[in-house]
């Protein structure tokens, strides 16, 4: 089973990870949701970049306390890990940044970091954001 890396603000939002009885976490309006079964059925990494974006979205929302509780619960589940940036990821970032600029298809910096993490650690990126399709060697679902 291939581990996954989430990029929630790149087009996805967390669904009801506690079994379907709560509305989706308000990370992004009108975004498709991923359910707990889809997320927790495999090892799931969340980049610190995406986590910062999620937390920023929570703070902007009307249900900040409830959504922070739900995020804390999700992050505490077995098989859910937070992934940071290290030297190999920074090299991958630089290579991707250069390649995409040469192709005339740069992507936002935060998304580039997320892509670099996914490629460097051989992870599948769960996203609905179409610009990730331009990133060489990136597996997206």
Whichever domain contains 79, its CATH number is 3.40.50.1010
Tens digit of each residue's pLDDT (9 = 90 or more) over 59-77? 999 999 999 999 999 888 8
Record the pTM: 0.73
pLDDT at 92: 97
Q: How far apart are CA 84 and CA 117, in angstroms?
A: 8
Q: CA of 43: how far to CAs of 9, 72, 98, in Å?
A: 19, 17, 30
Q: Are 7 and 114 in contact (CB under 8 A)?
A: yes
For the chain, the domain total comes to 1
Q: Which helix (H) or strand (E) holds 6?
A: strand 4-6
Domain that holds residue 35: 1-141
């Amino acid at each position: 089973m291939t581990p996954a890396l989430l990029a929630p603000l790149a087009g996805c939002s967390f669904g009801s990870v506690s079994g379907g009885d709560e509305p989706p976490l308000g990370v992004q309006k009108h975004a498709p949701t991923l359910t707990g079964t889809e997320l927790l059925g495999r090892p799931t990494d969340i980049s610190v970049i995406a986590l910062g974006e999620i937390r920023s979205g929570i703070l902007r929302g009307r249900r900040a306390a409830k959504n922070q509780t739900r995020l804390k619960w999700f992050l505490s589940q077995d098989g859910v890990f937070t992934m940071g940036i290290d030297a190999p990821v920074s090299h991958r970032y630089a290579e991707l940044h250069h390649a995409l600029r040469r192709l005339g298809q740069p992507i936002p910096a935060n998304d580039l970091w997320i892509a670099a993490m996914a490629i460097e650690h051989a992870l599948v990126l769960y996203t609905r954001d179409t610009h990730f399709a331009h990133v060489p060697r990136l597996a997206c679902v």
